[in-house]
Every structure is written in structure tokens, then in C-alpha cells.
Amino acid sequence: VAPEQRTGGGIEQASDVFSMGVLGYFLLTGHYPAPDEKALFTGILDPSKIAPVSRYISTPPLWAEEVLF
């Protein structure tokens, strides 16, 4: 669930961006960007707790950190 949906907002382009970010992170690393899956489904993500892509893959694509964060 995108954060704006959790707070009662409608589905917007931002919802798609959130979902694509989660999917992209998972496809690159094999891990969800949240410390626990509950945070993903409630839409409460603390950006400071998201591990950088380089934590899971030794040579991430140059664009990965910039695009996903």
C-alpha cells in the first residue's frame, strides 16, 4: 500500500512510483526495502532504515541508488 493510500488518499501516480520502487529494489537485491514486510503493507517506511542496494550486491548498477532513493 502506498503511503498516500494508507492515509485515505486515492490511487495516484505516486502509488505507482512507490510500487515500482519496491519492485525494483526487490528485483535488484532479492530483499524487500523495509526491515519487515509489515512496513510495506502499512505504507510506513522510514527511509533511514532502508539498506542501500550495495549492501546486497557488490557492484550495483550506477543508477540503482539514485533511482530507488
| pTM for the predicted model, two decimal places | 0.68
Please compute, for residue 30, the number of CA atoms within 13 A of its CA located in the half-sphere on the CB side: 4
- Please report the DSSP string for 1-69 in residue order: --HHHHTT----HHHHHHHHHHHHHHHHHSS-SSSSHHHHHHT---GGGSPPGGGT-SS--TTHHHHH-
For residue 30, the model assigns a pLDDT of 92
Q: Give pLDDT tens digits for 15-58.
A: 777 778 888 889 989 998 887 766 666 666 777 888 888 889 88
C-beta separation of 4 from 47 below 8 A: no
